[in-house]
Chains A and B, each alone.
Chain A
């Protein structure tokens, strides 16, 4: 039997309610998990920014930040944001909440597996956060955990139990993501309602489909890599350990492995991972722009193809993360070409977004603003992609703030703008209950303030990092000033003004998010009640079929009819689920 809105109203025991197999509750669970992770990760970035410009400042309840602690913060910030926010929220959170109804299904294909995926991910988050409380603290080798330092427990304070827990956490997370990916793929292939042909699927569904395929390929390889690293640490093997390495005063002669092998395996996972994070945002942006511009998505089929093409090329470009790691220069050229090839489908997406809104008269509610912000940040962050794809330019820029600026604009900021667009757009579905079937809206006034302050803060924080990077300021450094007996201090002193500006901007950006938190808390309880289809959308997540209704879809999304003659009434849009065109 498929649980529906009616059966959800039946009171159940608390245990059943917590370990539910209902996709709506599981989706909310994922979003709650991502919210915890994003709050923790953001506070960590705040501590890092403050420490960079005021290294002597004591952190409340903690004291001074040591270099090891700074590296542990870098590791946890990256791991939390990449895995537990940008992978979890768009793909698993909104995927579970919205995907079934967008394809006209009442449930995901495997509800129990779905619930298992959520609780596996929760376990992974608990293990990761616990790792900062063990002896030596959390791992300090970054979210990429490069060997040999990650393969040797004596390499640093967090590299013992802390890194073991990090490995365990990511392995558990990977298994949970595989559960989710299998579920998503089977749902999209097998549970589409009548009439939902592949070409009629909303672009969000195509994005979730592609991202799930990428998850399946990438996380499997990551699990293999984690297992090899675990063997290197505990079973006496040397897959990644080179011979004759001097680590922390000890000479390691046993190995015959290659750290580069880990880089290959890790980035084979790591690059698709960034597309898993951004593809759902791209799909949603297409749909939101078309909806509020009242236009069809420009070149719909091409957008489907570019989604798949970005996914395909995304698994062929991992080497561009390794240009300065000792890669064969000829291999570097091949990866440079495949990386620049990704600019083509990405540019096609941008052209489609611009062409969709071009000379339309859009309305600008908050979700539309965030979708336009997504386009802006995607272009701004994407333009530096082809620059970093050149091996010769990357030699100079790779270990500077330029790369930090690039991936924070295109992945972190564009990704979070996609998430905000999704939250503002789908909030009525998030807050849907049995007694209040239409849900509530977030406040538009607070939302507009939130958008403009966040937009300003994002650019003010991350654009100057390009300049800092071009000036040669290195990333991953715990401290620029206040180092006793530093040799070339004058080189850094000139750049500290810019760093202080970045920190002030980051504080502004983080404070602006309070508007969102307030909006969320207030609107969850007292927000304006939404209508049945508040944005006059055409996709069928806004359709609430009765439990015995035969769900079907009759046309592609984003079809609008111009009215002829009467300005006052008549349908101006045609939802996918409405069988007949109303007589005009």
Chain B
């Protein structure tokens, strides 16, 4: 007896009774080709779920990170809508005068530099991410020729982490500059939002840097190429999203105050 018996393809193909209709009209195909597999005419879909090749796990983790980022987007949307509501609302004082206390916070110029840094970091991250999926490197790895993906992606991810730390330091410098001008979080409705938005975005980036460090560690700790691809890929999508969020938040703080 062989250890595993692979059923013939004809055994796997399900004969479908034409009377087995689905509900509500519209006959559906017997299998949904979108539940897994890599597409491009491969036959992964004919395999049991969970054994449909290296992309299946990656797709699942990507889905997870995208859903999580969608939730995070709603978090920022809520804060931005509060920004606009507070900006446009005031109150009447004892003499029935309408008072809106919003005084736009002047953006420290270093934020432009920080923005450039985070854009560059997203580019380096994308290069690093693509290095993880270069066909020739993956092939060498499968043939047992060292860890070429790790070697080629590691410097880019490390540079991204360093740029991320640089960005955080830059944000801290911006806070210091505002504090020296006696602009604090409690000063004004506008400064509430300036410190809040930069603060929570910074907290997200701290998590991002932690994810990058975890990815760097994973590159050396994990032997499975699929796992290494997943951690770098998820860290990259998170990093890109934080970059895009920052571009929106920065334009909000510079142009819409």
Q: Chain A: residues with CB nearer than 8 A to chain B?
A: 2, 104-106, 109-110, 113, 178, 181-183, 185-186, 189-200, 216-217, 219-221, 223-225, 227-228, 231, 235-239, 242-244, 256-258, 261, 264-265, 268, 296-297, 299-302, 550-552, 554-556, 559, 579-581
Among residues of B, the one whose C-beta sits closest to the C-beta of A242 is B91
B206 interfacial contact with A, CB 8 Å: no
Contact pattern, B 71-92, Cβ under 8 Å of A = 1, otherwise 0:
1111111110010011001110
When distances are taken between beta carbons in the complex, the residues of chain B under 8 Å from A257 are 86, 189
Contact between B35 and A196, CB atoms less than 8 A apart: yes
Min distance, Cβ B46 to any Cβ of chain A, angstroms: 9
10 A-B pairs with least C-beta separation: A236-B186, A300-B23, A301-B24, A224-B78, A220-B74, A237-B192, A220-B75, A221-B78, A220-B71, A216-B71
Whole-angstrom distance between the alpha carbons of A208 and B166 in the complex? 42
Q: How far is the CB of B120 from chain A (nearest CB, A)?
A: 29
Residues of A within 8 A of B79 (CB): 224, 228
The answer to whether A198 and B48 touch across the interface, beta carbons within 8 angstroms, is no
Task: Assess A555 versus B22: contact at CB under 8 Å? Given A178-B68, A189-B63, A257-B189.
Answer: yes
- Per the bound structure, the CA–CA distance linking A182 and B68 in Å amounts to 6
In the complex, A43→B80 CA distance in Å?
41
Which residues of B24-57 are within 8 A (CB) of A?
Answer: 24, 28-32, 35-36, 48-50, 56
B34 to chain A, nearest CB (A): 9
CB within 8 Å for A195 and B78 given contacts A237-B186, A257-B86: no
How many whole Å from A116's CB to the nearest CB in chain B? 13
- Tell me the bound Cα distance from A235 to B195 in angstroms: 11
Residue of A with least CB distance to B12: A550
Q: Find out whether the CB atom of A265 lies under 8 angstroms from the CB atom of B89.
A: no
Contact in complex: A216, B67 (CB < 8 Å): yes
Write the nearest CB–CB distance from A171 to chain B, whole angstroms.
12
Query: Of the candidates B75, B100, B101, B102, which one forms a contact with A224 in the assembled complex, judged by CB atoms under 8 Å apart?
Result: B75
Determine whether the beta carbon of B186 is less than 8 Å from that of A186.
no
B49–A194 CB distance below 8 A:
yes
Tell yes or no: B244 within 8 A of A by CB. no
Chain B residues in 8 Å Cβ range of A178:
68, 71
Asked if B178 lies at the interface with its beta carbon under 8 angstroms from chain A, I say no
Q: Which residues of B contact A185 (CB under 8 A)?
A: 63, 67
Give the CA-CA distance A178 to B64 in the complex, in Å: 11
B48: shortest Cβ distance to chain A, in Å? 5
What residue in chain B is nearest A269 (Cβ atoms)? Answer: B78
Report the nearest B residue to A579, measured CB to CB.
B14
Closest beta carbon of chain A to B128's beta carbon, Å: 24
Would A109 and B85 be within 8 Å (CB), given that A200-B22, A551-B49 are in contact? no
**A106 and B86 contacting across the interface, CB-CB below 8 Å:** no
Q: Which residues of A contact B207 (CB under 8 A)?
A: none
What residues on B are CB-neighbors of A190 within 8 Å?
35-36, 56, 59-60, 63
Q: Is the CB of A238 within 8 A of B192?
A: yes
Cβ of B20 under 8 Å from chain A: yes
The answer to whether B50 and A198 touch across the interface, beta carbons within 8 angstroms, is no
Do A194 and B78 form a contact, CB below 8 Å, given A216-B67, A237-B192? no
B173 within 8 A of A: no
CB-based nearest A residue for B85: A261
Q: Which residues of B contact A224 (CB under 8 A)?
A: 75-76, 78-79, 82
Residue of B nearest to A216 (CB): B71
Is B138 part of the binding interface, using a Cβ–Cβ cutoff of 8 Å? no
In chain A, what residue has the closest Cβ to B4?
A548
Q: Can you list 13 residue pairs at the A/B interface with Cβ under 8 Å? A: A110-B64, A185-B67, A190-B35, A195-B14, A197-B22, A216-B74, A220-B78, A224-B82, A256-B91, A256-B101, A265-B78, A301-B23, A559-B20
Interface: B169 (CB within 8 A):
no
Residues of A within 8 A of B60 (CB): 109-110, 186, 190-191
**A195–B60 CA distance with the chains assembled, in angstroms:** 18
B50 and A2 form a contact (CB under 8 A) = yes
